[in-house]
Amino acid sequence: MRSKMIPGPSLILMVILACWPSISSAGLFKVVRVYDGDTVKAVGHDIEIRVRLVGIDAPETSKGKNQAGQPFGRKAEKYLTGLVLNKVVDIKGYGTDRYGRILAEIYIDDKNINLDMVKTGYAEVYHGSPPRGLYMQEYQKAEKGARNSGQGIWSQGDKYISPALWRKSKM
């Protein structure tokens, strides 16, 4: 007798979000882990999901004992941790990335956490193509304000290296 394999709820949610033609609301989840300044793990609806904050790119943290992280990497992680860890958040999905993480904006009440990371200088605007339905004008305006006031990553002036360039130089 063969048993039928039924896809887990996590896989089903990822398929739904990946195929959804525009923004989809995954709903309320509790953030149980912060990996770095732009990636978290959340649980809810009997599933566990890994979320990549869409529209932003935070400085890289060290990935091993002998690897240095990017300046402001740990500060960005700590700031995001203070905002979302052990809190119930609303996740608005925009599909998945190549690693299977859900690309999403995270909200607490009406506060866009992704946008807050940019406003405070703990992340820059993502330089790639945004997913359909994600409007970057507010993010770009927030980055300009943080850059002009020298907040966070922008306090480094000419020494600042974007996370994308940092990853290329270290891999």
Question: Token digits for 32?
Answer: 């149980």
pLDDT > 50? residue 4: no
Q: Report the catalytic residues.
A: 52, 60, 101
Q: Name residue 50's amino acid.
A: R
**Long-range contacts, stretch 11-14, CB < 8 angstroms, 24+ apart:** 13/45, 13/47, 13/49, 13/102, 14/49, 14/96, 14/100, 14/102
Instruction: Report the CATH number of the 9-170 domain.
Output: 2.40.50.90
The pLDDT value recorded for residue 88 is 97
pLDDT digits (tens, 9 = 90+) for 127-166: 999 999 999 999 999 999 999 999 999 999 999 999 999 9
pLDDT digits (tens, 9 = 90+) for 24-78: 566 899 999 999 999 999 999 999 999 999 999 999 998 776 778 899 999 999 9
pTM (predicted TM-score): 0.84
